[in-house]
Amino acid sequence: MAVMEGDGVFMQPVIRHVVWSVLVPAAVGSVAAMGICLWWVPGGEKVPTPIRNTRLYQAVHHPPVPVSSPLVLPSAPVPAAPSLPVSSAHDPIATREALNLPSFAPLVHQVIPAVVNISVSRGSPPTDDEPSTQPKTPAARKVVPIPAPHRRHRRQKHHTVRPADDDLTGAGSGFVVDASGIIVTNRHVIGHASRIMVSLSDGRSLKARSLGEDPMTDIAVIKVDSPTPLPSVTWGDSRQVEIGDWILVAGNPFGFGSSVTAGIVSAVGRDLGSGALDDFMQLDAPINPGNSGGPAFNLQGQVVAMNAAIASPSDGSVGIGFGIPSEIVAPVVESIRKTGHVEHGWLGVTLNDASAPMWVEDVDPHGAAWQGGLRKKDAILAIGDVPVHDARTVLRSVAAAHPGTVFNFTIRREGKEMTLPVTLGKRPVADF
């Protein structure tokens, strides 16, 4: 085919126009679009797969370093702890409230200033006709259960020695019940002491003197003279205490003063076989030698028991401690403050509750029961308007009453019921 010389001259401007107006803009647009896909799209999530597989894209976006699978499988999801308000981050009280955690700190601050440590020096040993409060053998220092069915306990007396100096031979606890310096403790803590020293929570040590004691209940009252009123605590009603209630115990265990432990009331009405007034409150708060005479508080800061005994094969706490209820301690303390001693009622009778109703097994011809008309084989039905079913309840009520109190016994004799007013006598010293 023949080509005219003029055709080449005509086509050159057309080609240049097509290149610059169509092809060059198209190429520039493609490169710009690729740049946007490679660099401007965040993370490349929207980049098409063909472009993502190109060497250029992979050169710009380096693949992540491979991570091996975990060696331990993840556990079940754990619920997140409740978040605390920012304001409670440095406030322990707000933290406890936010996490609903109990704290005895406010109660401790309230009552611990009234709890004291007691150290005693012993004089000459007691004579043969004066009963000793010291254990004669190591076994006498433990509350040891006797096998069932008739399980009884020997009372644990906390006479742990705390060698503060050569003269000191004993230590215990107590608590102030009057700002004038009236202190309550156990009789066995201060028994036969030639000197009694009381260490207060403010660091002072004061000499104390005995106001009186009651061998039957193992309660003693001492007094210190202070130029300023002392912090004191009040009595609570132990009759309102229920099994499972919280309890706070304070005292001087093993000589470590100003110690507190907490627990619950495990049982009430325990009989340890130490006397007619046995009615102990069982506590699982740790009580150790040296806690004797210390208080047990309810959550209102009131004294509902006084620590007195533990059950342990090793003289240490195993979670079984015993306290004398305040309903027994408070009247005894008040009587000692007024008169220096305590008088307990006495009936002079032996009761048998092996069968119902219980009956009189023996009567002392010189006792109050005989003078009031009670005789052998009389069946005891009630005292006043209260029916009675066991001998322990009757004897405890009698021992808690003052001599001269009249008890109206409803009895059955030879098939006939009658009421006998019996005036209680004074319990002989030998009965302690």
Judge if 167 and 221 occupy the same domain: yes
CA distance 255 to 162: 6
Tell me what the mean pLDDT of segment 262-270 comes to: 91
CA 18 to chain centre: 99
Distance CA 81, CA 371 (A): 73
| Residue 70's pLDDT band (cuts 50, 70, 90) | very low
366 in active site? no
Q: Are 265 and 122 part of one and the same domain?
A: yes
pLDDT digits (tens, 9 = 90+) for 407-421: 999 999 999 999 999
Known catalytic residue at 188: yes
- pLDDT tens-digit readout, 247-258: 999 998 887 778
Residue 51 lies in domain = 12-60
Q: Per the residue annotation, which of 153, 158, 214, 218 is the catalytic one?
A: 218
Asked whether the CA dihedral 243, 248, 254, 255 is positive or negative, the reply is: negative
Say if residue 83 is exposed, middle or buried (CB neighbours under 10 Å; 0-12, 13-18, 19+). Answer: exposed
- Tell whether 241 and 382 lie within a shared domain: no
What's the pLDDT score for residue 375? 94
| 300 part of a folded domain | yes
| DSSP reduced 3-state for 429 | helix
The answer to whether residue 258 sits within a structural domain is yes
**Do residues 374 and 275 both lie within one domain?**
no
In the predicted structure, residue 203 carries a pLDDT above the cut 80: yes
- Residues 279-327 have pLDDT tens digits of 889 999 888 888 999 999 999 999 999 998 887 776 677 778 899 999 9
Out of 119, 238, 292, 335, pick the active-site residue: 292
More confident site: 318 or 432 = 318
Residue from 197, 142, 134, 189 nearest 164 by CA? 197
Reply yes or no on whether 266 is catalytic: no
Q: Which of 309, 341, 373 is the last residue of a domain?
A: 341
